[in-house]
Amino acid sequence: MARIGGAFPFPTAQVSEGGGVITLPPGGTFYLPAGEWVCNTGTVTCLQWFDPIDQVWRGVQEPTVQSQLVSSDGFNYRLINLSGVVTGASITNAGSGGTNGIGATATGATVVFTGPAAGVTATAYPIVGGSVQAPTIAAGGSGFLVPPLIVIDPPPPGGVQATAVATISAAGAITAITMINVGAGYAASPNFWIIPQFGLYAGGASGSFAAGASPAPGLVFPGNAVPGNQNTGATGAQLTPNALTGSGTLTGIVVVNYGTGYTGTTIPTVSITGGGLAGGVAATAIMSFSVTGVTLGAGGTGYGSGATPIWESSLGLVAASTNNGVFLPRPARGVTTVTGGAVATFVIEDAGFGLQKVPTVAVINTSAIAATQATGTAVVGGINDTSILQPRVQ
């Protein structure tokens, strides 16, 4: 298609006659109409894509990202305000004695979150068993310039994808496979695929750059090579799957509905019952909060003339984000006002995103050095947020 340049002699499409301005309340969603779009997400709004294989919504674009190009069929992309909601659960006791499977019907177990004071209660389903061990390195291969990409077969629909990374020696052989996420719900040990990567420039000759080698260097055993252009051979890198782990234990909790209206005083408890799971099985909710206010504790003393102190929150981490399929959190921050040498108020400049529990607040001295430090307590929940959706014309 030819790209149309210059001023348009016709009106461009409007999103629900809103001019492309999408304002969502905490937990609110907006499904992108069919078409080509340029998406600019707000400070707490994310773009998600529906994975038809695993039947889950996956994060595509985090907040505050500009000019993401999206091709929507009207159902496969959505904007969602992830503030004041539950985004996951960290398993603190996996228990034992459960029935392996995915979901309440297969396992006989249920996951229940308590609800907010006003809003919508989050919902989730359990996964029992089916976690993936690191494979055995039957042969390290040779010729890898950088660690190859390790791709693992997906679990049955509704399971949690396992992921791993490789380590290579100075001689270019695979020496270790580290599981980043062991996954959940696998019914059988998956295949591990090895995809060599280019170390430097991989394109054709350009200026002072020579043409890159193709395929990417690295010898792979045929059974671990994806179909296509790879160097394969009997002495190539070979990974052999090991038996699954976690049988009878809670290996995953997948949030189906994030809920709405949660605050720092209504962080839900997680109850896992049924299916034979025993042994004190338990989990902790992973929240996605923004700071809606900071309550002054001690004002401190000795804040003299000069720039007033600023403040910043912690991330309130409950669990590693990469292992729970949630977006990386962003701290809240702002400035203060000072009266009589003491901090009087906290002013929010950035409410933060994805705070997993109530964070701590630190007052940071600038040129107004304190004799005693001011303190504050974060108030967290959800905030309204605006994103921009523009038609993309080609």
- Other residues' Cβ atoms within 10 Å of the Cβ of residue 292: 18
Picking from 225, 260, 287, the residue at the C-terminal end of a domain is: 287
Average pLDDT of the residues in 305-328: 82
> What contacts 203, CB < 8 A, 6 or more positions away?
209, 211, 212
CA angle 64–65–69, rounded 5-degree value: 145
**3-class secondary-structure state, position 362:** strand
- Same domain membership, residue 299 and residue 373: yes
DSSP per position, 182-218: --B--SSPPPEEEE---SS--SS-BTTBPPPPSSPS-
Tokens of 81: 């305000």
Q: 209 lies in a domain?
A: yes
Q: What pLDDT, on the 0 to 100 scale, is given for residue 15?
A: 55
The region, left, alpha or beta by phi > 0 then psi within -120 to 50, assigned to residue 61 is: beta
Please say if the pLDDT value at position 245 is more than 70: yes
Q: Quick one: which of 262, 97, 238, 92 has its CA closest to 174?
A: 238
Which of 2-11, 286-295, 377-386 comes out lowest in average pLDDT? 2-11
Cα–Cα nearest to 87, from 272, 283, 286, 323: 286
* 67 shares its domain with 211: no
Pair type for strands 231-232 and 219-220: parallel
Whether residues 124 and 253 share a domain: the answer is yes
One domain, residues 122 and 251:
yes
- Could you tell me if 78 and 150 lie in one domain? no
Q: Are residues 118 and 74 in the same domain?
A: no
For Cα atoms 140, 141, 145, give the angle at the middle one, nearest 5 degrees: 105
For residue range 284-304, what is the model confidence (pLDDT) as tens digits? 999 999 999 999 999 999 887
* Structural domain boundaries enclosing 160: 133-243
The answer to the question of residue 16 being in a domain is: no
The pLDDT of residue 321 is 63
Q: How is residue 267 annotated by DSSP?
A: P
**pLDDT over 70 (residue 223):** yes
CA distance 180 to 202: 27
User: What's the Cα-to-Cα distance from 376 to each of 76, 82, 355, 368, rounded to whole Å?
Assistant: 42, 24, 17, 17
Same domain, 78 and 101: no
| Residue finishing a domain among 287, 302, 317 | 287
Q: Is residue 220 situated within a structural domain?
A: yes
264 with 297, same domain: the answer is no
12 inside domain = no
Q: Which of 186, 213, 243 is the last residue of a domain?
A: 243
141 and 239, same domain (yes or no):
yes
* Mean pLDDT taken over the chain: 90
Could you tell me the pTM of the whole model?
0.87
Q: Which residues pair with 165 in a beta bridge?
A: 178
The answer to whether residue 104 scores a pLDDT higher than 70 is yes
Question: To the nearest whole percent, how much of the chain has pLDDT over 90?
Answer: 76
What is the C-alpha to C-alpha distance for residues 280 and 277, in angstroms, rounded to an integer?
Answer: 8
* Closest to 239 (Cα-Cα) out of 197, 198, 190: 190
| Residue 4's pLDDT band (cuts 50, 70, 90) | very low
Q: Are 86 and 103 in contact (CB under 8 A)?
A: no
Q: What was the pLDDT predicted at 189?
A: 98
Residue 185 contacts residue 155 (beta carbons within 8 Å):
yes
* Phi/psi of residue 138, nearest 5 degrees: -70, -30
Does any domain span residue 13? Answer: no
Is the domain of 314 the same as that of 369? yes
> Do 253 and 108 share a structural domain?
yes
- pLDDT tens digits, one per residue of 118-158: 999 999 999 999 999 999 999 999 999 999 999 999 999 99
Give ∠ CA 254-263-354 in degrees, rounded to 5.
55
* Position 229 confidence tier, pLDDT thresholds 50, 70, 90: confident
Task: Judge whether 189 lies within some domain.
Answer: yes
Please give the C-alpha separations between residue 47 and each of 192, 277, 314, in angstroms, as whole numbers: 30, 35, 24
Shared-domain flag, residues 95 and 234: no
Per-residue confidence (pLDDT) for residue 149, from 0 to 100: 97
Residue 97 placed within a domain: yes
Backbone angles phi, psi at 52, to 5 degrees: -75, -15
pLDDT at residue 268 tops 90 = yes
The structural domain count of the chain equals 4
Q: What is the pLDDT of residue 8?
A: 44
> How far is 263 from 382, CA to CA, in rounded Å?
7
Domain assignment present for 4: no
